[in-house]
Structure 1
Amino acid sequence: MTEQNSPRPSRRERPAKPALTRDGIIGTAVALMRAEGLQRVTMRRLAQELDTGPASLYVYVRNTAELHAAVLDDLLGAVDLTPVGASGDWRDRLVRVLTSYTNVLFEHPGLARSALVARPSGERYLDLLDALLALLGEGGVPGERAAWAVDLLLQFATSTAAEHAAGEKDPADAEGEWAALAAALRGASGERHPHVAALGTELLSGPGEARLDWGFQVLINGVLHTPRPGTPDTP
C-alpha cells in the first residue's frame, strides 16, 4: 500500500488535547497578543488557536473584555516593584514603580488603550495596588486618601501610554499628525489665540520622560495637600 493510500489515524489514535484551564487560556492569549497584536485576541481566534469552540472558553472567561483584562494582569508581572523595599525618598520610589507600569504599557500599544477601560482583578494587579498603597502610606498619606490616589495615578499613567505609545499606528501617520499640531501651535494667531501664540513653543517642549515624571510629581503633591471629601482630615 502506498503512502498516499495509507488510512488516516482515527480520532481515537490521535493524542488527546490538553484539558482547558483558565491559566492555559490566558497564557495562549498573551502569546497570541505578542505574535499578532491585541486586536486579534478575540474569543473566536483564541478558540481556533486552542482547537476548540468559542463556547468552551466562556466557561472560563466571560467575554473579550475580561480576557483583555486578564492579559493585562499577566503582563503586570513585569512591573518593577522592588522600589517598595528600597531606600531613598518615597516619592521618587513611587514614581519609579509608576514609570515601570507605564513602560509595560508602552511596549503594548493596543493593551494601553484597552487598559483605559479594562478592570484587571488578578494577583499581579493586586500586587501593584499594594505596592502603591505601601509607598503612599510611607509618605504619611491617610489610607482613605491613598485609596483614591492610586486610581488617579494609574489613570494618568495609563492615558499617557495610550496616547503616546507607538506600534499599531502607521509611523508616517503619527509623524504627520504631530507635524500638523506643531505647525498649528507655532502659527497660532496672536489676535485670536494670544496665549497659544505666546506659549506655542513651550506647549511642544520637553522630552516625554520629563513630562511623565513631572506629571506624577504634580499628582503626588496634590494628594499630599488635598484632603478627601467626607474624611476626618477634611478642613
Structure 2
Amino acid sequence: MTSSVGSRRERPAKPPLSREWIIAETIKIAQEEGLAKATMRRVATALDTGPASLYVYVANTAELHAAVTDELTGTLPADAEGTWAERLERLLSAYSHLLVSYPGLARSALQMRPMGPNTVRLFDRILGLLLEGEVAADRAAWGADLLVQHATANAAEHSAPAVDDAYPAPFAPEAVEAINATIRGADARDVPHIARHADLLLSGSPEQRSSWATRALIAGISATPIPQ
C-alpha cells in the first residue's frame, strides 16, 4: 500500500507562487466563469494553495481584479495607420472590446478605475493622440479622462451579465425588442417628439452609434474650453 506521503512526493512540483501566476490564473477564471467568480478563495483553490498565500502578493479581491484589468490592457496593439483621430477611435474601440470580452471586467473597471502601469500607458497614448491633433493641452488632459470613462461605460453597457445577475443584458434580443416596442408605441399626445422621430431614435447599429459617440466627444473636447 502506497502511503499518502509517498503519493504527494510523486506529484509534479508546483511552480513557486508569484503575482504573475496569480494574475494569469485569475484571467483564466474570468474568461471561463466571469470576473465575479474570481475571488481570492476561488483563485487559491485553482492554484492548489490557501487564500492566505495570495495576500502576500495582492491585498484583496478588488486589487486582484484591478491587476487583471491592467494586465489585459497591456495587450492592446500598437497602431500607426491613419489620422490621429482614426487611431484614437480605434484605440478606444479596442479597449471597449477588450473589456466586453471578459464577463464582469468592464463593470469592475468602471467601479475601480485601475491605474496600473499598462493603464497609465493607455492614458498616455490617448493624451498623446489628442495633442497630436493640436487639441489644447488643458482640454486634452481633461478629455483623455472623459474618453476613457466613456469607453469603459460603453463596454459595461454592452457586457453580458453574470450568471447570477438579477438584471438582463441591455442588448439581449428581448431587451432590444422591449425598447423598440416602447419607442414605436409612444403616444404622440404625451411624448410628441419621440413619436415623431421614432425611426431616427432607433436607427444605426451599435458599432455606428459607438463610433459617432466617440467622434462627437473628440469634437466637443477640441472645441470646448475648460472652466477658469
Whether 1:196 aligns to 2:180 is: no
Gaps of 5+ in 1: 231-235
User: Partner residue of 1:233?
Assistant: none
Determine whether 1:109 maps to 2:103: yes
Q: Which residue of 2 aligns with 1:9?
A: 5
User: Hey, what does 1:71 align to over in structure 2?
Assistant: 68
Distance 1:210 1:123 in 2: 31
SS in 2 for 1:100: helix
Secondary structure of the residue aligned to 1:62 is coil
- Residue by residue over 1:146-188, the C-alpha shift from the partner in whole angstroms, topping out at 9 and shown as x without a partner, is 22111111111111111123474778x9221211111011001
* Amino acid corresponding to residue 24 of structure 1 in structure 2: W
Q: Any idea what SS the aligned residue of 2:110 has?
A: coil
Partner SS, residue 116 of structure 1: helix
Give the TM-score of the pair, scaled to structure 1: 0.86
1:13 offset after TM fit, Å?
A: 6.4
TM-score normalised by length of structure 2: 0.88
Q: Which runs of 5+ in 2 are unaligned?
A: none
Q: Please state how far the C-alpha of 1:75 moved relative to its aligned partner.
A: 1.2
How far 1:14 sits from its partner (Å)? 5.4
How far 1:210 sits from its partner (Å)?
Answer: 0.9
Q: Match for 1:82: what amino acid? A: D
Give aligned pairs, total.
223
Structure 2 residue 210 is matched with structure 1 residue 212: yes
Per the TM alignment, residue 52 of structure 1 is displaced from its structure 2 partner at its CA by: 1.7
- Partner amino acid for 1:110? G
What are the within-5 Å matches in structure 2 for residues 124-203 of structure 1?
124-166=118-160, 168=162, 174-203=172-201
SS in 2 for 1:78: coil
CA positional deviation for 1:16:
4.7
Aligned partner of 1:81 in structure 2 is: 78
The residue type equivalent to 1:7 in the other structure is S
- Taking only aligned residues, the RMSD between alpha carbons, in angstroms, comes to 2.2
Deviation at 1:142, TM superposition (A): 2.6
Distance 2:116 2:51 in 1: 23
Q: Which has the larger radius of gyration?
A: 1
Q: Is the 8 A contact 2:123 2:148 kept in 1?
A: no
